[in-house]
Amino acid sequence: MKICVDLEKCQSHGQCAIAAPELFSFDAEGKLRWVKEPPVEQQATAEAAADACPEQAITIGT
Amino acid sequence: MPRVLIVGASLGGLRAAEALRDAGFHGAISSVGAEAHPPYNRPPLSKDVLLGNATSDGVLAELAFPRKARLGEIDWRLGMSVAAVDLAQGEARLADGSRIHFDALIVATGLRPRRLQLTGATADRFVLRTLPDALALRARLVPGARIAIIGGGFIGCEVAASARRRGCATTVIEPLIVPMQRALGQEFGAAMQALHEAAGIRFRTGRQVTGFEVDVSDRLHAVRLDDDSLVEADLAVEAVGSQPNTEWLAGNGFDLDDGILCDHRMAAIGHDRVAAVGDVARFPCLLFDDVPRRVEHWSIPGLTARRAAGHVARQLGVAVPDAPFAPLPTFWSDQLGLRIQCAGLPGLADRVGLLSGSLGPDSMRRDGAVMGYWRKDRQVGVAAIGVAPQRFINFQADLVRALQNCSL
């Protein structure tokens, strides 16, 4: 499974980091960090983060 | 094969369909939606869409929600409304006279803008809920146009900021003391008003609109207020709240006082095979208390859809494990280049206090400000202006802990 974030769309709302803190976080400079290729068991968590994004900037691929 | 009918094809209806599939429901799903467009994301309508120049197709290419493969086959009926349902017969009658039989129903019809009960100026009065609404309004936001925004809530303030950036002479008319007062309280509302005024937006607070002044061709030239003063305007935006789309449910014994009354499972009271999602549902948020409320925030459709779909699938014989349900309302707003973030229900508070920063315009722009909201001695909300996401996440986590540690 792959997580892609369109950083042009991302407005740092942080809803992904609330929905899936194990996959998304912000570094000290406020830049979004995420697990690019998490194990497939975390698919539902990743989908929840993508759904929660107000800008719909996150896509989950295979 | 059992059929679930989902009425309303925006975010809540779409998430309900997805959640039905996730719950293991393999039966038929019909999705009926009054709007002609596939489900799309509404929050940018008052900001990016008003500020941009994309066509309807261009906006939809950006804002339409991606269709997930696991949705499988859905019987979409877009651009079609439901005229009435008969629960005893398990049948819905559509606006074109056709009928859909269903075994369970999910209500996701959302809200429509409330309109002022005043006559005149029909061609110059706008609302903002849908993509066509936004495009029609945008066509009038030309430099020098005089715009009266009636209602200083979030939509009104976002439209004001966008109109001002497009060069319109912008006035916000608000019956309460400050804008966004009901959602954020007087202190934060006053601070936001100062920021808007610094950007050149005028405010007439503590005032109601009593009439539209028109010329012989019914074109608007001013909005009349309750002190008999006039606000000169070429167009007006009515941002005075919303009302739930529940008329089609009448005659089935539902409590439709303010949205459709649901229990903690999102099941409609009195009908176990009917559930509701999103801002049309009046349901108890047990993190706070057991009082049913409608919550008009973007995060609510997704959270309630999962709950409602689980309940409906269970009613239709699918074994769905029970999951905890304690949705925390969260919302945001972008105005004048500043982000407002909020979690919880600040509107319940009887006490407000700064948790960080101060409320002066310069210091808010530099360092941000965070406000806490308490009911009795229990924190019920947190709101921030101009605060980095990780900092707000920490304040939100504190709020969740405070809510969970208190018994009802």
DSSP string for residues in B31-77: EEESSSSPPB--GGGGTHHHHS---HHHHHHHHBPPPPGGG---EEE
- For B192-208, write each residue's pLDDT tens digit: 999 999 999 999 999 99
Tell me what pLDDT residue A30 has: 87
Enumerate chain A positions whose Cβ falls within 8 A of a Cβ in B. Answer: 11-15, 17-18, 25-26, 30, 44, 51-52, 54-56, 59
Q: How far is B388 from chain A (nearest CA, A)?
A: 7
Q: Is the pLDDT of residue B190 over 80?
A: yes
Domain B115-240 has CATH 3.50.50.60: yes
The domain limits of chain B are 3-42+65-112+243-315, 115-240, 337-404
Q: Which of B65, B298, B389 sits opposite A26 (nearest CB)?
A: B389
pLDDT classification of B148: cutoffs 50, 70, 90: very high
Q: Is the pLDDT of residue B408 over 70?
A: no
φ, ψ at B379 (rounded to 5°): -70, 130
Name the CATH architecture for the domain at B337-404. Answer: 2-Layer Sandwich (3.30)
Of B206, B230, B229, B210, the residue nearest B120 (C-alpha): B210
Residues of B in contact with A52 (CB under 8 A): 299, 302
Q: How far is B243 from chain A (nearest CA, A)?
A: 23
Enumerate chain B positions whose Cβ falls within 8 A of a Cβ in A. Answer: 15, 22, 41, 43-44, 63, 65-66, 298-299, 302, 330, 332, 334, 339, 341, 388-390, 392-393, 396
pLDDT classification of B115: cutoffs 50, 70, 90: very high
Q: What is the CATH number of the domain that holds A7?
A: 3.30.70.20
Tell me what pLDDT residue B407 has: 53
Mean per-residue pLDDT over chain B, rounded = 96
| Strand duo B28-33 + B3-7: pairing | parallel
Percent of chain B with pLDDT over 70: 99
- Number of folded domains that form chain A: 1
Long-range own/partner contacts, residues B223-232 (CB < 8 A, 24 or more apart): B223/B148, B223/B150, B223/B173, B225/B173, B229/B204, B231/B148, B231/B171, B231/B173, B231/B204, B232/B146
Q: How far is B143 from chain A (nearest CA, A)?
A: 28
Q: Hey, are the CB atoms on B390 and A11 less than 8 Å from each other? A: no
Asked whether the domain spanning B337-404 has the same topology as the one spanning B115-240, the reply is no
Distance between CA B402 and CA A13 in Å, rounded?
22
- What is the ipTM score, two decimals? 0.91
Q: Hey, are the CB atoms on A30 and B389 less than 8 Å from each other? A: yes
Distance between CA B184 and CA B382 in Å, rounded?
9
Residues of A in contact with B298 (CB under 8 A): 54
- For B308-328, write each residue's pLDDT tens digit: 999 999 999 999 998 889 899
Q: Which of B22, B334, B389 sits opposite A14 (nearest CB)?
A: B389
Domain B3-42+65-112+243-315 belongs to what topology? FAD/NAD(P)-binding domain (3.50.50)
Residues of B in contact with A45 (CB under 8 A): none
Residues of B in contact with A25 (CB under 8 A): 390
Q: How far is B207 from chain A (nearest CA, A)?
A: 33
Residues of A in contact with B341 (CB under 8 A): 13-14
Residue A43 lies in domain: 2-61
